[in-house]
Amino acid sequence: MPVAQIFMIKGRTEEQRKAVIEKVTAAISEAVEIPKESVRVWIQEVPSTDWGVAGQTAKDLGR
Amino acid sequence: MPVAQIFMIKGRTEEQRKAVIEKVTAAISEAVEIPKESVRVWIQEVPSTDWGVAGQTAKDLGR
Amino acid sequence: MPVAQIFMIKGRTEEQRKAVIEKVTAAISEAVEIPKESVRVWIQEVPSTDWGVAGQTAKDLGR
Amino acid sequence: MPVAQIFMIKGRTEEQRKAVIEKVTAAISEAVEIPKESVRVWIQEVPSTDWGVAGQTAKDLGR
Amino acid sequence: MPVAQIFMIKGRTEEQRKAVIEKVTAAISEAVEIPKESVRVWIQEVPSTDWGVAGQTAKDLGR
Amino acid sequence: MPVAQIFMIKGRTEEQRKAVIEKVTAAISEAVEIPKESVRVWIQEVPSTDWGVAGQTAKDLGR
């Protein structure tokens, strides 16, 4: 029953986030040979003001 | 000083989330025999579009 | 399908950690009125050298 | 720069955990169309004594 | 490549959150002697209704 | 009462991890102008076999 938490900068489309859930579930299912039914995945979007790379916000870095 | 993070699909009422905080705090306090004052709990709500079960979003599963 | 992650300083007995799982599951189940089957809980123990309160390690604080 | 944290019951082989890292990275890279270089993934293994399903430990459930 | 996740009650200004990212990045960089470029930090704000201290919400405690 | 979780590849000395706790606590305290007593920090070390950069383990990358 693996669980994946994905953190991303806010702004991806619903379609992309759906693809993340679908593909990450399949990836884990294959890697550890368990049915997809056992896998949980959720995404936590973080605003670009609250995500820091090298001490700067993603917003200030223009992402 | 245990800390609990609770992840749930968005949509529970404020009253229910308050009950989660109250009851989970009491549960941990009893289980490890420490005062409730030492326990921290927070809830992170995840939109149904971003929560995946078996590779499908909770939204698509109608939850 | 709520998921709880509990962080605690390493050192509780297996019996106590089992009680945490049992009681936190029941607490969430009651608070949001869902069957216990839908609840996942796991504990992550952190060594006292790696847990900080007010900038000091729990080890140095004698916990 | 998405980051994935994967939680699993302890016990998978190093080969399987490596496959998780490889496949989850590829999955996220494809889903949001970014180079694999931007993706970070780590696994946190949880002992079966500390992982609860429906209020019982995975150990007691024989997993 | 250390990663820091900071959880705080919602309500700090963007300026304060930016300072958190800047200062925590510098702190980790100094402590483990790596360039700031290798550090990732993000903040997750939690509404005061969803943050519990001693079993009460931060909102009820007037924070 | 901010809480910081720091994830790092396993292998830093106890002295370095202590410095992380001390400095990150001070950093948050200054950034949001609260006493250090209100800050909690913990470190979660991840084995190099379980940490992935660009789809490869840190171990395979020689880190």
Say if residues C44 and C24 touch (Cβ distance below 8 Å): no
What does pLDDT average to over chain A? Answer: 97
pLDDT category of residue D61 using cuts at 50, 70 and 90: very high
The DSSP secondary-structure symbol of B50 reads: G
Q: Is C39 on the interface with B (CB under 8 A)?
A: no
Q: CA-to-CA distance for F45 and E47, rounded, in angstroms?
A: 29
User: Is there contact between C and F if contact means ≥3 C-beta pairs under 8 Å?
Assistant: yes
Is the per-residue pLDDT at F7 higher than 90? yes
Subunits adjacent to chain A (3 or more Cβ pairs under 8 Å) = B, C, D, E
Domain ranges of chain A: 3-57
Asked whether the beta carbons of C2 and C39 are under 8 A apart, the reply is yes
Query: What rounded mean pLDDT belongs to chain F?
Result: 97
What is the tens place of the pLDDT at every residue in D9-38? 999 999 999 999 999 999 999 999 999 999
For chain D, strand residue ranges (E) read: 3-9, 40-46, 51-53, 56-57
Q: For F21-45, write each residue's pLDDT tens digit.
A: 999 999 999 999 999 999 999 999 9
Q: A3-57: which CATH number, 3.30.429.10, 3.40.50.720, 3.40.50.620, 3.30.450.40? A: 3.30.429.10
First to last CA, chain D: 34
> Across residues B6-17, what is the average pLDDT?
98
| Mean pLDDT, range B6-24, rounded to an integer | 98
pLDDT bin (cut points 50, 70, 90) of residue A56 is very high
- Mean pLDDT, residues A5-32 taken together: 98
- In the sheet with B3-9, reading across from the earlier edge strand, the strands are D56-57, D51-53, C40-46, C3-9, B3-9, B40-46, E51-53, E56-57
Catalytic residues of D: 2
Instruction: Decide if E22 and A52 are in contact by the 8 Å CB cutoff.
Output: yes
* Residue found under tokens 């800390």: B3
Tell me the DSSP string of chain F: --EEEEEEETT--HHHHHHHHHHHHHHHHHHHT--GGG-EEEEEEE-GGGEEETTEETTTTT-
User: Quick one: average pLDDT of D54-62?
Assistant: 96
